[in-house]
């Protein structure tokens, strides 16, 4: 549902002008899924940080690198030199999980139109990847808390990040859209739900 909302928004479908809500939903789902996986495997005594990163890489990187590979010849043919330079920077940022930071820095009045940035959509994936890098370790440390205290900790993250996002929507719109601290409340909502309403069986 989250992906369909974004696709229909990009396609200009009537009634889906707010399709980026799908990205927000995706972040909530991700927070729920990752929290459920880590806590379930911890309870079973089988959690491995290296295996966690391996599974994320196998799930994400093949499709991501294929997308970049398919964009390269099209960009070479269609983009003028200045836009090709910007595209090359975004290609370099992909394996660094930093396209969101790049597009944040590029955003502004004189920024190129989104249609000339074939990898613009990877900003949300970069947020996800940054989340994957730090969150499992933090969760393992915090999971020693009782369920009630862990849920309270997530609630505090939700409140702080949401207030920051509200401030950012008025004073730092580009940072609020592209960067993890302003998006953390959405991931934390999913994490809070995973603690309060854990799945009946471990996720795949």
- Is residue 64 in a domain? yes
Task: Look at the chain and count its residues.
Answer: 204
Half-sphere exposure of 198 (CA within 13 A, CB side): 15
- Residues 6+ positions from 139 with CB-CB distance below 8 Å: 35, 38, 39, 191
Query: H-helix or E-strand containing 48?
Result: none
- Is residue 78 in a domain? yes
Nearest C-alpha neighbor of 199 from the set 45, 2, 29, 4: 29
- Is residue 49 in a domain? yes
- Is residue 154 in a domain? yes
**How far is it, in rounded angstroms, from Cα 179 to Cα 134?**
15
pLDDT score, position 109:
44
**How far is it, in rounded angstroms, from Cα 110 to Cα 129?**
28
pLDDT score, position 67:
93
Q: How many domains does the chain have?
A: 1
Instruction: Please identify which residue in the block is written with the tokens 């959690």.
Output: 47
**How far is it, in rounded angstroms, from Cα 111 to Cα 96?**
22
- Is residue 204 in a domain? no
- Is residue 202 in a domain? no
- Is residue 31 in a domain? yes
Pinpoint the alpha helices (H) of the chain: 2-10, 21-44, 49-78, 81-93, 99-106, 122-142, 147-171, 173-178, 180-196
Query: How buried is residue 52: exposed, middle or buried, by Cβ count under 10 Å (0-12/13-18/19+)?
Result: middle
Where in the sequence is the domain holding 186, given as residue range(s)?
2-196
pLDDT mean for each 10 residues of the chain (204 residues): 74 70 89 94 90 93 94 90 90 94 76 70 93 92 88 96 94 92 96 88 49
pLDDT score, position 200:
67
Residue 117 Cα distances to 4, 120, 171, 172, 184, angstroms? 21, 5, 25, 22, 25
**How far is it, in rounded angstroms, from Cα 158 to Cα 174?**
20
Cα torsion for 118, 124, 129, 130, to the nearest 10°? 120
- The phi and psi torsions of 38 (rounded to 5 degrees) equal -65, -45
- Is residue 143 in a domain? yes
pLDDT score, position 110:
44
């Amino acid at each position: 549902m989250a992906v369909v909302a974004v696709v229909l928004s990009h396609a200009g479908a009537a009634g889906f002008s707010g399709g980026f809500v799908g990205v927000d939903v995706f972040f909530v789902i991700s927070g729920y899924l990752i929290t459920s996986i880590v806590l379930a495997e911890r309870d079973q005594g089988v959690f491995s940080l290296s295996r966690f990163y391996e599974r994320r890489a196998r799930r994400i990187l093949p499709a991501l690198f294929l997308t970049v590979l398919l964009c390269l010849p099209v960009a070479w043919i269609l983009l003028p030199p200045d836009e090709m330079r910007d595209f090359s920077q975004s290609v370099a940022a992909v394996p660094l999980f930093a396209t969101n930071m790049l597009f944040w820095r590029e955003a502004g009045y004189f920024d190129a139109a989104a249609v000339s940035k074939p990898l613009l959509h990877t900003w949300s994936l970069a947020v996800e990847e940054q989340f994957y890098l730090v969150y499992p370790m933090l969760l393992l440390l915090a999971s020693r808390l009782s369920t009630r205290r862990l849920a309270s900790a997530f609630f505090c993250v939700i409140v702080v990040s949401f207030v920051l996002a509200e401030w950012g929507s008025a004073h730092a719109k580009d940072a609020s859209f592209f960067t993890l601290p302003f998006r953390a409340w959405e991931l934390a909502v999913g994490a809070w739900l995973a603690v309060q309403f854990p799945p009946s069986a471990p996720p795949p």
